[in-house]
Structure 1
Amino acid sequence: MPSIQHPVLVIGGSGGVGAQAAAAIRRLHPGLPVTIAGRDLAKARAVADKLGVEALAADLSSPDLGLPSKARFSAVIVFVKDDWSHALRFAQRHGIPHLSVSSGAFEIGIEAARFIHAPQAAPIVLASQWLAGAALFPTLDYAKAFRSIDTIHVGVLLDEQDMGGQAALADYERITQSGSATLTLKDGRFAWIAGEEAKAWYHSVDGVELPATAYGPLDVLSLATATEAKNIRFDLAFDVSASRRRGEPFSTESVIAIKGVLHSGERAMRRYEVVHPQGQAPLTALGVALATERALGLAGGEALEPGLYFPDGIIDAAYCVARMKEFGATFTEIKANG
């Protein structure tokens, strides 16, 4: 395992999810240095002091991020939308991994363009899948049971009390309102849907049916590439979680349905449920931590070479699922004939 000299820079690390991600990184790799950065230095220091790490003020609107000229880092993680793309350019100038979690499927052209113009500069990990892979990796792991797949449907529930901070709310509003339509896969063809076609119903883990709508994280692109399924759709319900209906704190839910042909030759439809009793933040934090350790070569292989990556291209699905269980997620499988 390599020894990392310079800290991982966590921009937005004073927010709820960013702070948990920094803590997850430290839990997985206690010796890995971390720097918490944000616009409010006092808030960054408050989080950093709890973790025993350093804090810096950062400004995404500045080409140098407002950081000291002599500061050096091993990777850059961005938890807020970087409208200027300065953090990515910073990572490319220094030849270090860059990881982002805020882009919708309709937005990744900006990051792709940066890579195309400087393909040998740095590893770029596009980790804007739902909760940094919390639905994607279980889906990929369950998909291994199928020889061929007709349909993948992923429904997720974000509790109304679990949105997080202003940055998370801004991401949600931008992705749901700014994009003219949502990406799906229908009969093998990519299709952008909107209006009535985008409306759906989400069946919660306690059987309650809730209104939902098609949502546009990067999961559809990852799943289409990895599984060759003919139909893929991702829906989001922003409502009350089953745990809160029981009078408990909010949780986060993912309900995965896969229909196809098993390796035995049997045609089947299977439904899987993934729940974390503490909501979305722990799973997002874990996903970012796993992508970071992989990019730096701390687990799963050598440090990434310059390139453009999805997390599912660099992290083993079974490994991620095992870590999710370790961090408190529960998995339930419900079998049904197709």
Structure 2
Amino acid sequence: MSLSNTDPVLILGGSGIVGAKAAQILRRLYPDLPIAIGGRDFAKAQSVADEVGHAQAVKIDLERDDLGQSANTNYSAIVVFVKDATLNSMKYAQTHGLPYLSVSSGVFEVGPEMALAISKPNAAPILMASNWLAGAATFPALQAARKFKTIDDISITVVLDEEDMGGPAALADYERLTESAPNPLLLVDGRWQWVKGDDAKRAFVDIDGTTVESTPYSPLDVLGLSTATNAKSIRVGLVYGTSASRRRGDHFSTEIAIEINGELTTGEHVATRIDIVHPKGQAPLTALHVALGVERLLGLHGGEPVKAGLYLPDSLMNADYIVDRMKEFGAVFQENVKPAVG
């Protein structure tokens, strides 16, 4: 199927590190899919568009309802890599009936997006993909969870190397989500709790056996995993510092540890740990998951184009397919299963 006559996918923040990487992955997956690189700096956006190929640069003004676009401009989807406090990008998508994907909101600040989506339920498909790396922890956890009859606890610990922050927009997101946010949201013994960070810090042994401190964190993974697995407790913890690979003298990596305790469908009580490492850091995995979200929204894989509604990533995409793609794009998986203690 040729996509050359399809309207472009507009990537807001497409000239940033992760946005540009997402455009490159979309181009790798779909060589003839038109792409528009949107940003405030037209020259920077043009440079990325030239590199991606079959792409155009677009100057974006998030202060305007029309995003600064002419009335005869058409897009096939809107992808947002920046925090749009105006929600004008989402309103634009609803006005034009376009699939919309965002990645920059914490649990504590999704209310305005949800309210806007609920107020116009038939306007557009809204994919809220503000999970860790847009789903890089959620989908492997869901795949592993299928082996369990009941789950007592899911603990996800992510390692963000301090040299792997990305650009200014990513830094702003990190500071807002970790410094300006209220207490993190965790599921503890079946009850949702906003916990104080100092009270919920934990020691974490990373993939190389080094003990570091993990601080509770609240991406949207806690919401999706709670509904998909019925786990009694769910925690996401963040380690910000030095990744195991950089400690060894190599390039920084991104690391995700998924620990699941519970009863397998075979009746055994086990503790499973899956370590996921990408040797190039967080950008490739984030970009990949966004690209796969766009793929699904447009109906390029996994079914027909998604109908209007409000979605989390796990409600639209197949975990096995996503995990296979993660491995194809460089993620390394290591699993260890042992009898549960207690």
TM over 0.5: yes
Taking the aligned partners of 2:237 and 2:203, their CA distance within structure 1 comes to: 8
- In 1: Cα distance, 2:233 partner to 2:13 partner: 36
Corresponding residue of 1:65 = 67
Q: Show the counterpart of 2:176.
A: 174
1:153 aligns with 2:169: no
- Equivalent residue, structure 1, for 2:12: 11
CA shift for structure 1 position 178: 2.1
87, 100, 106: which one aligns with 2:102: 100
Conservation of the 8 A alpha-carbon contact between 1:255 and 1:273: yes
- Residue in 2 that maps onto 1:32: 33
TM-score (norm 1): 0.98
Q: CA separation in 1, counterparts of 2:2 and 2:227?
A: 31
217, 220, 234: which one aligns with 2:219: 217
Matched residue type, 2:129: A
Which residue in 2 is equivalent to 1:23?
24
Q: Which runs of 5+ in 2 are unaligned?
A: none
User: Which amino acid is the alignment partner of residue 26 of structure 1?
Assistant: R
CA RMSD of aligned residues (A): 1.0
Q: Which residue of 1 aligns with 2:145?
A: 143
| Gapped regions of structure 1 (runs ≥ 5) | none
Partner of 1:310: 312
Report the CA distance between 1:191 and its aligned residue. 0.8
Structure 2 residue corresponding to 1:332, chosen from 326, 331, 334: 334
Whole-Å Cα distance in 2 between the matches of residues 256 and 103 of structure 1? 22
| Letter of the structure 2 residue corresponding to residue 231 of structure 1 | S
Match of 1:50 in 2: 51
Listed one character per residue, the Cα deviations across residues 160-206 of structure 1 (whole Å, up to 9, x for unaligned) are: 10000110011111111222111100111111111422322232110
Inter-partner Cα distance in structure 2 for 1:156 and 1:125: 22
Q: Which moved more, 1:3-12 or 1:324-333?
A: 3-12
Structure 2 CA distance, aligned partners of 1:178 and 1:159?
20
- SS of structure 2 residue aligned to 1:106: helix
CA distance 1:57–1:19, change in 2 (3 Å): same
Give runs of aligned pairs for residues 252-267 of structure 1, distance below 5 A. 252-267=254-269
SS of the counterpart of 1:167? helix
Q: 1:268 aligns with which of 270, 275, 278?
A: 270
Kept in 2: contact 1:17–1:284 (CA 8 A): yes
Amino acid across the alignment from 1:122: A
> Secondary structure of 2:273's match?
strand
By how many angstroms is 1:109 displaced?
0.8
1:152 aligned counterpart, secondary structure: strand
Query: What residue identity is the alignment partner of 2:12?
Result: I
Q: 2:166 aligns with which of 158, 164, 167?
A: 164
Deviations 1:25-49 (A, max 9, x none): 1111112110001000000000000
For 2:196 and 2:64, how far apart are their aligned partners in 1? 36
Residues 78-97 of structure 1: pairs in structure 2 closer than 5 A: 78-97=80-99
Q: Does 1:133 align with 2:135?
A: yes
Provide Cα deviations, 1:248-294, integer angstroms capped at 9, x if missing partner: 00000000100000011111111110000000000000000000000
Q: Tell me if the contact between 2:184 and 2:197 (Cα under 8 Å) persists in the aligned partners.
A: no
Q: Secondary structure at the match of 1:217?
A: coil
Asked whether the equivalents of residues 99 and 126 of structure 1 are also in contact (C-alpha less than 8 Å), the reply is yes
* Residue 296 (structure 2) aligned to one of 294, 298, 303: 294
Cα distance in 2 for partners of 1:119, 1:291 equals 19
User: What are the Cα deviations for residues 211-233 of structure 1, in whole angstroms up to 9, with x where unaligned?
Assistant: 22101100000110100000100
Identity of aligned residues (%): 54
- Counterpart of 2:230 in structure 1 is 228
Q: Is the 8 A contact 1:2 1:297 kept in 2?
A: no
Task: Provide the C-alpha distance between the structure 2 equivalents of 1:323 and 1:106, rounded to a whole number of angstroms.
Answer: 30
Shift of 1:2: 8.0
- The aligned residue for residue 251 of structure 1 is 253
The question of whether the paired residues in 1 share the 8 Å contact of 2:2 and 2:32 is answered with no
Tell me the amino acid that sits aligned with residue 218 of structure 1: L
Alpha-carbon distance between aligned partners in 1 of 2:203 and 2:156, rounded to the nearest angstrom: 12
Secondary structure at 2:79 match in 1? strand
> Do the aligned residues in 2 keep the contact of 1:210 with 1:239 (CA within 8 Å)?
no
Deviations 1:90-131 (A, max 9, x none): 000000101000000011111111111111000000000000
Shift of residue 63 of structure 1?
Answer: 1.2
